[in-house]
Chains A and B, each alone.
Chain A
């Protein structure tokens, strides 16, 4: 079957065309029981060119990238890379389901943290993520969760009010600018 879905370039090298729906990916998936659409169904949607529909599924944000599917696929399909491509598409087109926006928010806060510091500053990451999460859905449990862990972490010397940063942070900024720039060019071509 000839398949040329929207955004097909994102799936180059994933061997998506080789999926024959055996379902091993779904059988081994630790989150499949909580997904709106199972991994094998996601891959079928992509094969049929329904990229937008697949990118709107909550399943792609529940995937923890454990690579069990990739490891067990008898057709050597790069399952997680397909899900990565769908997440990338969903983040670019802002089409993740509202109840799972928080996971994208976390990943964006994570990358933003690296861009600024070169390394992850855990306290700053948690603060940014929780503040933005609270502003988004006014969830008090999210804001307060883990607060009780702070003294226990401090007691164990695992909590750093000031975290180390990479020295050449300007270089890190340039790397990010080039990657996001490269990326935008790729997407518009």
Chain B
């Protein structure tokens, strides 16, 4: 049993609680213990870094301070916005003693930036893809996925230093261990509009329409994401996309943890796959003839 600190962030405790259910069910099956940070606070997301630079370091800094205080050397943050903000702060703290002092004073907790922050894909890598492959009960033979990384899993590259920012392969590698296929396509790292959902919806509907259309054109029967905002824009907003563009997509959107869990034998209900907006049932379809 390995143990990781766990920073859910606001989305996973809000309308993306299906993502949290999926992550938790998966981790339990893989015997990974998640220690949720005691009294964590919001990372500030785009709003903080757009409007107040100090705040954009203090809010993640408080959470890193809690992780250090409670002895977590590794911290899982499944939301890429949270993990990027945490890593950005960690890097800034590591580089400057003056900033460590300033932020520690502001957040009333000593914080050094020693905690390793990891995303959802990395926790599967830590568990070991060979171990996951050996534990597969239902190989996902009917899945031909377009792995969608969006922005913040691999960007900004100098900050997050994860995978290749233009040609990432880490999700495809996880899917291969599950017996699923991945397609080659063009929009894997294009932005979906993320936080603009509320304030400028037409932007999001245009960007997501291009993403889904391209995935379909390259033979994908589903999208796989590792980000709650990508999931909102691609799944919850898919009806609005179809309406705005006069098209029918009907494209299921899985979280990466959904597919790992399904392959490990967990049910749609345990992983909250049954709570998505677009019915996600292609994993149970008969094997497609290539």
Residues of A within 8 A of B (CB): 30-31, 34, 62, 64-68, 70-71, 76, 78, 80, 84-85, 87-88, 91, 102-108, 110-111, 114, 118-122, 126, 129, 145-146, 149, 152-153, 156-160, 163-164, 166-168, 171-172, 174-176, 178-180, 182-183, 186
Contacts and interface: CB of A to CB of B under 8 A. Distances in A.
Contacts of A129: 198-199
Interface residues of B, number: 59
A152 B277 contact: yes
B114 interface: no
B128 interface: no
A13 to B, nearest CB: 10
A64 B18 contact: no
A123 B47 CA distance: 17
Contact of A110 (B45, B166, B193): B45
B191 A66 contact: yes
A138 to B, nearest CB: 17
A111 B151 contact: no
A85 B53 CA distance: 8
15 contacts: A64-B151, A65-B195, A66-B151, A67-B155, A70-B155, A91-B51, A108-B47, A118-B42, A145-B201, A158-B17, A160-B14, A175-B107, A178-B106, A180-B55, A186-B54
A60 to B, nearest CB: 9
Interface of B: 10-11, 13-18, 39-42, 44-55, 58-59, 62, 102, 105-108, 150-152, 154-158, 165-166, 189-191, 193-196, 198-201, 203, 207, 236, 275-277
Most chain B CB within a 10 A radius of its CB, from A103, A107, A149, A186: A107
Contact of B54 (A80, A104, A183): A183
Contacts of A104: 51
A2 B199 CA distance: 39
B275 A76 contact: no
A167 B36 CA distance: 14
A66 B18 contact: no
Given A103-B200, A158-B14, 11 more contacts: A84-B49, A85-B53, A88-B50, A88-B52, A119-B13, A120-B11, A163-B14, A175-B55, A179-B55, A180-B55, A182-B106
Nearest to B50: A87
Contacts, number: 165
B23 to A, nearest CB: 16
A68 B54 contact: no
Given A102-B199, A168-B39, A64 B194 contact: yes
Nearest to B14: A122
B150 to A, nearest CB: 8
A151 to B, nearest CB: 12
Nearest to B13: A164
Given A66-B155, A84-B53, A175-B58, A106 B106 contact: no
A168 B41 CA distance: 9
Contacts of A114: 41-42, 44, 47-48, 59
A163 B203 CA distance: 28
A167 B46 CA distance: 23
Given A88-B50, A122-B15, A183-B52, A68 B41 contact: no
A68 B191 contact: yes
